[in-house]
Amino acid sequence: MNLLNSCETEKKTNSLLYIMIISLLAVIAVMAFFMWKTIWNKWENSVPKATDITNTTTDTTNNSDPITITVIDDKRCTSCMTKEIVSQLKLVPFFSSAKFVEQDFSDKWVSDYVKNNGIKKLPAIILSTNKINDNWEMQPYLKELKDKQYSLEVWASFDPFAKRSDKWFMILDKEVLNKIKSNTYLKWNKDAKVSWIEYSDLECPFCAKLHNSDVPSSIEKTYWNNVNIYFNSFPLEFHKNAMPAARIIECAWEQKWATAFYALVEKSFKDEKSDKDYLVAEAVKLWINKTTLEKCVADWKFDSKITEQQKTWTATFGVSWTPASILINNDTGEYEVLSWALPFTSFKETIDKLLK
């Protein structure tokens, strides 16, 4: 009898144990399902979709809402430096909590978005709001798009719609090239195969960064007679010293030609100073007559020329920032626009291709 009771008790215990195990497995299964669902949703939300661009407009009435920054690149562009641009943007304090979404022009819905919003050049930096620190240097370059987001009109130089040469360069009409050259001053060999046409602003810190790097000296040393330089003034409106500085270097050229012009440009960038008193004092050190110089500046003698350089740059290349460098083959008209203060390796890669 005791044996039967013992067996019966054991059966009940085993049944209870089985029920507990099955219940525990069911609980684990439910928890696993919800964990999987959560992970799946997070992953799914991280995958770029068309709505990442078209439906990300932030309610700017709530300052706690994060900014969404969509970066549209083109994998065909070897000189866009998009990763470097994004890295720089992430260092901007008011973008510290921004959500960055990366897209490529090769996706049809992305190319359609670019067309529909009138974006001409890549990489495109699309911000979900324009409610950004008013002191941010790039604030004036935010352009409202059709979908009520904002395109940052800087850094972009790659035209994804343009016809290109076999070496994947855009081609500039020789008449336009000759017009650009006739309106500025030559440095180095006039018969060089490649020209570096630079658009800069003496108050621009990134222009100074480019000139104070090893780029100019490395190009001169590496390519010697194969590359020459044409410097064009592009004074930005929000740089108060930019236009007066452009007038001074032009008036310096009038007295002492290109030697004084480039000497003042390089000195200004080296010292990172561009105010009128500084440049006039430096010009006098170059044996430039101060009275004649100041009269030339006061008369705005070269304003039409400077304005023409700006118009040509914007109309021809569709951009409006500094520094920007055009590397162009003078024989074929093939060219590439390099934006920002890029390293020598970026210049070298393009020059080598143009020289082939």
Give me the pLDDT at residue 340, please: 79
Strands (E), the chain: 68-73, 99-104, 124-127, 142-144, 150-152, 170-171, 185-187, 194-200, 227-233, 324-329, 334-339
Q: Which pLDDT score is estimated for 144?
A: 92
pLDDT in tens, 140-163: 888 999 989 999 877 787 888 888
Question: What's the pLDDT score for residue 159?
Answer: 85
Q: Determine the Cα–Cα distance for residues 352 and 219; give it in Å rounded to an integer.
A: 11
Contact, 341 vs 207, CB < 8 A?
Answer: yes
Residue ranges, the chain, pLDDT below 50:
1-9, 11, 39-40, 42-52, 54-63
CA nearest neighbour of 251 among 283, 282, 209, 297: 297
Rg over CA atoms, the chain: 30
What lies within 8 Å, CB to CB, of 78 at 6+ separation is 349
Show Cβ contacts of residue 331 under 8 Å, excluding neighbours closer than 6 positions: 193
Q: What is the pLDDT of residues 184-196, one digit of tens each?
A: 899 999 999 999 9
Which residues 6+ apart lie within 8 Å of 299 measured at CB? Answer: none
CA–CA dist 211, 28 (Å, integer): 64
- Per-residue pLDDT at 4: 38
> What pLDDT is stored for residue 62 in this prediction?
42
The reported pLDDT for the residue numbered 43 is 41
* pLDDT tens-digit readout, 18-64: 566 666 565 555 555 555 555 445 444 443 443 445 443 333 334 45
What local confidence, expressed as pLDDT, does residue 344 receive?
94
Q: Name all domains of the chain by residue range, CATH numbers in brackets.
A: 53-152 (3.40.30), 170-355 (3.40.30.10)
Tell me how far apart the 2 most distant CA atoms of the chain are, in Å.
Answer: 128
